Amino acid sequence: MGRGIQLEIKRKISSVKSTMHMTKAMEMVATARLQLFKKNFKNFYEYEKELSSAFQRISSSIEDIDEVKNFIWKHTPSKVMIVVISGDMGLCGSYNDDIVNASYEREKNLGESFDSFYVIGSKASKRMRFDEKKIRRSITDMYSKPFYDDAQSLSNELMRIYTKGEVDCIEIIHGYSKNSLVQNVKDEVFLPIKIDKQSQNISYDFEPAAEEMLKVVMPQYFGSKMYRILLESRISEQNARQNAMRNATENAKKLIDDLSLKYNKMRQFYITQEVIEITNSSEGLKGEE
């Protein structure tokens, strides 16, 4: 009976070691991807920041033009579409659930102003379909590695939905890294835009005209904004996966230590028991002599 328990413990230790090797490997993969996304984000951030500043200056200089009037925040929205960006893979703790739960909470707060969900990521898509939520469109396996062209296409589609009057506000809910250990959920308005009032007090001269420049800058502005959001989401997801796999590896090490201690105690117990039995048998044979 004792030998059977020892064998079972050895099998558990072997199984946990195999799991630990897998979680360690996944942690290393997440770390490598995280470094790549951080590098891309660092290179892109300054460009997006300057483009946003230029867009604010141009748009604030235009007063009566349809291209911008429809994109400026005027009143409280009555038809809000929520874009939800989750991951396509799991093993990242509560990351995906936190995003979906925040989306449900926002839907509840909007009440009758809520229109539909636009879902990016299979994890959010599967859960929302199971919960029978109103989904306008679902995109999966799109941005395991975000590309600017994909972000531009996505932003163009959202702009078409908005300009056709199907909704009067588009919000994006996605993951955001406060730091490497803390992952938050961010809710930001994609459309319409809020013009910086301070920039309206500054006069600029544009050549060509601001109206012509706006037509060129606007698609790039929204495309860069979407690309930045996708990068932030991926960085947050990889941070969450890295932390989850690190915790899983540490827990596996602790479990191996506990099982090894239990195995050694049991092994020592049976060795001691056998020594006692041999000693008693030897003493018994001496007595018979």
Q: What is the pLDDT of residue 218?
A: 85
- Measure the CA dihedral 6/11/16/20, to 10°: 120
Q: How many CA atoms lie within 13 A of 246 on its CB side?
A: 11
Mean pLDDT of the chain: 84
Q: What is the pLDDT of residue 124?
A: 93
CATH number at residue 185: 3.40.1380.10
pTM tops 0.85, yes or no: no
Instruction: Summarize the confidence of residues 84-110 as an average pLDDT.
Output: 93
Q: What is the pLDDT of residue 144?
A: 66
Residue with tokens 């008693």: 280
Cα–Cα distance, 86 to 185 (Å, whole number): 10
- Tell whether 62 is covered by a domain: yes
- Tell whether 54 is covered by a domain: yes
Cα–Cα distance, 252 to 202 (Å, whole number): 61
- Tell whether 249 is covered by a domain: no
Cα–Cα distance, 23 to 199 (Å, whole number): 50
Helical (H) or strand (E) element with 195: none
Q: Range of 206's domain?
A: 22-244
Question: At 248, which amino acid appears?
Answer: A
Q: What's the chain's Rg over C-alpha atoms?
A: 30
Answer yes or no: is pLDDT of 127 > 90. Answer: yes
Answer yes or no: is pLDDT of 214 > 70. Answer: yes
Which of the pair, 230 or 282, is modelled with greater confidence? 230
- Tell whether 44 is covered by a domain: yes
**Cβ contact 117:131 at 8 Å:** no
Strand pairing of 114-120 and 135-139?
parallel
Sheet of 169-177: strand order equals 135-139, 114-120, 80-85, 169-177, 183-191
Taking alpha carbons only, the member of 35, 54, 97, 99 closest to residue 231 is 35
Answer yes or no: is pLDDT of 91 > 60. Answer: yes
- Tell whether 198 is covered by a domain: yes
Number of domains in the chain: 1
